[in-house]
């Protein structure tokens, strides 16, 4: 018998769990987000041709292509180099998520799955023609896509979750 309410007994703190369940959740989340990214890229390439732009208020849908990595880093390099480097990074994230499945908290795992989804989406897109399709344009920031959003929000989620989990240890508890 316990005095804790059921909601208090469920925790997102790190601890042992069934790695198979966690790995399946990471893979499924990454797959769904990567598939959505690729679908949006295909829709953008189909509907935003000829310089067509759609104003959504805070941002526009405007087609663009990036031959480099984030913020066009490496744009002058041969596409196979960018593809190889981003492929290695993607593989590293996948291995880290796989190995962390039994001990990392759910927020960390979901953040990793978002990063993995974005990396897979951009890698798959780049593998086709050497460039990544971008379509979200703010006017004050480089044009980006759903994969970039996944990578950014996933990395922020991982960082915040790790900081949150580390706070009690830092405070001496």
Give the model confidence (pLDDT) of 56-79 as tens digits: 999 999 999 998 777 677 778 888
Q: How many CB atoms lie within 10 A of CB 113?
A: 27
What count of other Cβ atoms lies within 10 Å of the Cβ of residue 16? Answer: 7
38 falls in which pLDDT band (50, 70, 90)?
A: very high
Q: Please check the confidence at residue 50 and state whether its pLDDT lies above 70.
A: yes
- Active-site residue among 60, 129, 134, 166? 134
- Hey, is 137 helix, strand or coil? strand
Torsion, Cα of 51, 59, 56, 111 (10° steps): 120
Element (H, E) at 62: strand 60-66
Indicate whether 6 belongs to any domain. no
Asked whether residue 1 is assigned to any structural domain, the reply reads no
Q: Does residue 76 belong to any structural domain of this protein?
A: yes
User: Does residue 9 belong to any structural domain of this protein?
Assistant: no
Q: How confident is the model at residue 166 (pLDDT cuts 50, 70, 90)?
A: confident
36 in any annotated domain = yes
Domain that holds residue 81: 18-170
Q: Identify the weakest region by mean pLDDT among 35-39, 98-102, 117-121.
A: 98-102
Residues pairing with 24 in the sheet: none
Most confident range, picked from 31-35, 85-89, 135-139, 167-171: 31-35
What does the pLDDT read at residue 105?
Answer: 93
In a domain, 120, yes or no: yes
* Among 37, 60, 125, 148, the one annotated catalytic: 148
User: Distances from the Cα of 118 to the Cαs of 50, 66, 130, 162, 173, in angstroms?
Assistant: 27, 15, 16, 20, 36
> Is 8 among the domain residues?
no
Please state the rounded mean pLDDT for residues 37-50: 96
* pLDDT band at residue 173 under the 50/70/90 scheme: low
Domain total for the chain?
Answer: 1
What does the mean pLDDT of the chain come to? 87
Residue 6 has pLDDT above 70, yes or no: no
Active-site residue flag, 148: yes
Does residue 89 fall inside a structural domain? Answer: yes
Whether 134 sits among the annotated catalytic residues: the reply is: yes
> CA angle 119-121-123, nearest 5°?
65
Rounded percentage of the chain residues whose pLDDT exceeds 70: 85
Torsion angle defined by CA atoms of residues 133, 136, 137 and 142, in that order, rounded to the nearest 10 degrees: -60
Q: Which residue has the tokens 């890698």?
A: 123
């Amino acid at each position: 018998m316990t005095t804790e309410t059921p909601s208090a007994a469920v925790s997102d703190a790190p601890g042992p769990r069934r790695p198979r369940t966690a790995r399946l959740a990471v893979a499924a989340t990454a797959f769904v987000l990567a598939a959505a990214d690729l679908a949006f890229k295909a829709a953008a390439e189909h509907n935003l041709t000829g310089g067509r732009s759609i104003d959504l208020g805070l941002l526009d849908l405007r087609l663009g292509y990036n031959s480099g990595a984030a913020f066009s880093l490496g744009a002058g390099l041969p596409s196979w180099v960018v593809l190889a480097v981003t492929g290695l990074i993607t593989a590293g994230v996948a291995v880290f998520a796989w190995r962390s499945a039994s001990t990392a908290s759910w927020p960390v795992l979901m953040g990793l799955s978002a990063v993995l989804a974005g990396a897979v989406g951009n890698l798959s897109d780049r593998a086709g023609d050497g460039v990544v399709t971008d379509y979200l344009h703010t006017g004050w920031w480089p044009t980006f896509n759903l994969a970039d959003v996944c990578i950014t929000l996933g990395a922020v989620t991982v960082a915040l979750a790790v900081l949150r989990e580390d706070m009690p240890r830092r405070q001496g508890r």
